[in-house]
A and B are shown apart, each in its own frame.
Chain A
Amino acid sequence: AQSVTQLGSHVSVSEGALVLLRCNYSSSVPPYLFWYVQYPNQGLQLLLKYTSAATLVKGINGFEAEFKKSETSFHLTKPSAHMSDAAEYFCAVSEGSSASKIIFGSGTRLSIRP
């Protein structure tokens, strides 16, 4: 069965600094991977997804993630943090079968220091 682990429940970076949010997955088959973002008092929305077409995936708001099979990772990065990036970020994984289900990580809260 698939699973996903997000290292660090809270990450704090300075405005303009690199953002790195870590996600490791476990899957017995090639996975489909997702990052979701939840801004304060809002619902979850899809940030980006990996579907095997390309290992580097670009999403909204300047975020990107790289699928590394050898490391079973799908870390989320942004070169320069903006105050508006402060939110909760969730990594998720699903497997190839249409009968399987998507599994979410525990989330990482990103804070931005002025």
Chain B
Amino acid sequence: GAGVSQSPSNKVTEKGKDVELRCDPISGHTALYWYRQSLGQGLEFLIYFQGNSAPDKSGLPSDRFSAERTGGSVSTLTIQRTQQEDSAVYLCASSLVGGGLFSEAFFGQGTRLTVV
């Protein structure tokens, strides 16, 4: 597609439920990132994919969080047993390559997750 697409744009869920957030990167982009942004805060790195593998999962806050990427394209971030502190905007970004001349990241509009 023309840009990074995230769905849903908004999600309200009850505490304890599982949620899945989807990211469609720009076609051909090998690198994909997930970030979390809480109200008025900066970007919190969650996970980085190079192709289908995740060389850096260091930002996942707990084992309730997992992510996968299939076919070098679509990625899904899953949060199990959601807690109120998971409420935030989840941002996905992709870049042609991870580093170097074409490493600029293109961001989606985010998924606003609210846990009630």
Do these two chains really belong together in a complex?
A: yes
Enumerate chain A interface residues (CB-CB to B < 8 A): 32, 34, 36, 42-46, 49, 51, 88, 90, 92, 94-107, 109
Complex contact A104–B43 (CB within 8 A): yes
Given contacts A43-B107, A101-B33, A106-B42, contact A94 B91 (CB under 8 A): no
Contact of B104 among A49, A90, A96, A101 (CB under 8 A): A49
Q: Nearest chain-A residue to B107 (Cβ)?
A: A44
Contact of A98 among B35, B45, B100, B108 (CB under 8 A): B100
**What total count of A-B pairs have CB within 8 Å?**
80
Contact of A34 among B35, B97, B104 (CB under 8 A): B104
Q: Is B56 an interface residue (CB 8 A)?
A: yes
Enumerate chain B interface residues (CB-CB to A < 8 A): 30-31, 33, 35, 40, 42-43, 45, 48, 50, 55-56, 91, 93, 95, 97-101, 103-110
Contact of A101 among B40, B98, B107, B109 (CB under 8 A): B98
Chain A residues, CB < 8 A from B109: 42-43
How far does the alpha carbon of A90 sit from the alpha carbon of B41 in the complex, in Å? 11
How far does the alpha carbon of A55 sit from the alpha carbon of B92 in the complex, in Å? 30
How far does the alpha carbon of A6 sit from the alpha carbon of B50 in the complex, in Å? 27
Q: Nearest chain-A residue to B101 (Cβ)?
A: A51
> Measured between C-beta atoms, what is the minimum distance from B11 to chain A in Å?
17
How far does the alpha carbon of A32 sit from the alpha carbon of B50 in the complex, in Å? 18
Q: Nearest chain-B residue to A90 (Cβ)?
A: B43
